[in-house]
Amino acid sequence: MNTAAEWPVTLQWAQLVLRPLAMSDRGEWDRVRYRNKQWLEPWEASNPEADGAAPSFRGFVRSMTKQAREGQTLPWLITEQDPGTRRHELVGQLTVSGITLGSFRSATLGYWVDGAQAGRGIAPMAVAMATDYCFEHLNLHRMEINIRPENAKSLRVVEKLGFRDEGLRRRFLHIAGDWADHRSFALTAEEAPEGLVRRFTGEDRGITVRRASR
């Protein structure tokens, strides 16, 4: 499967929707990110170069979209649909990055959730949806998540989903201004034959996948 040919793609299970990041999201993105600055800052990747500045929102979207169209990345917003108004509220972000095909067939997952929505199962559900899509539709074999040892809430996400602890990676990523250790967790397709969504929810239904023209 050519991952570039799949993009843009939207995933849905019940009211939770993973949809492509777009320029039109800037206003809501800025509001949610500003409100969550202290909540997210300890875990955010940073630029190790002394003069390295974070990209603008426009630059970020352009970069993510380009990588998605090249089959390297899947940049999704996590949104929740109001069943009455059908309006979608931004509740987080999930990115599948480092997509490698060939003999490796692997990728890495990263995510964040609005602190006001923490504890509702949004993060594990979003990870389950993305993992099922990668295994079932992109034919990837292995998904990896790297987490700071101090990040108890994120560690609980991989525990709920059955990701395997592969050990500590010393000074693995530049986080909040310094190189930080991470614990690495992985799951292969053989370890979740029923799918993670079914495993997590206990319900016998999978994700809905919608593809749109570019």
- Which residues, including other chains, have CB under 8 Å from residue 202's CB and lie 6 or more apart? none
Q: What is the pLDDT along the chain (214 residues), one digit of tens a residue?
A: 667 668 999 999 999 999 999 999 999 999 999 999 888 888 888 777 756 667 789 999 999 999 999 999 999 999 998 877 678 899 999 999 999 999 999 999 999 999 989 899 999 999 999 999 999 999 999 999 999 999 999 999 999 999 999 999 999 989 888 899 999 999 999 999 999 999 999 999 999 999 876 5
Distance CA 142, CA 192 (A): 11
* Fold observed for domain 3-211: Aminopeptidase (3.40.630)
Distance CA 60, CA 68 (A): 12
Distance CA 87, CA 137 (A): 27
Alpha helices (H) in the chain, listed in sequence order: 3-6, 26-35, 37-40, 57-69, 122-136, 152-161, 196-201
Tell me which residue has tokens 């993305």. 130
Distance CA 62, CA 18 (A): 18
Checking 8-11 for CB contacts under 8 A at 24+ apart, the result is 8/68, 8/211, 8/212, 8/214, 9/74, 9/133, 9/209, 9/210, 9/211, 9/212, 10/209, 10/210, 10/211, 10/212, 11/76, 11/129, 11/130, 11/133, 11/207, 11/208, 11/209, 11/210
- Which residues, including other chains, have CB under 8 Å from residue 90's CB and lie 6 or more apart? 25, 28, 29, 32, 77, 78, 79, 114
Domain residues of the chain, as ranges? 3-211
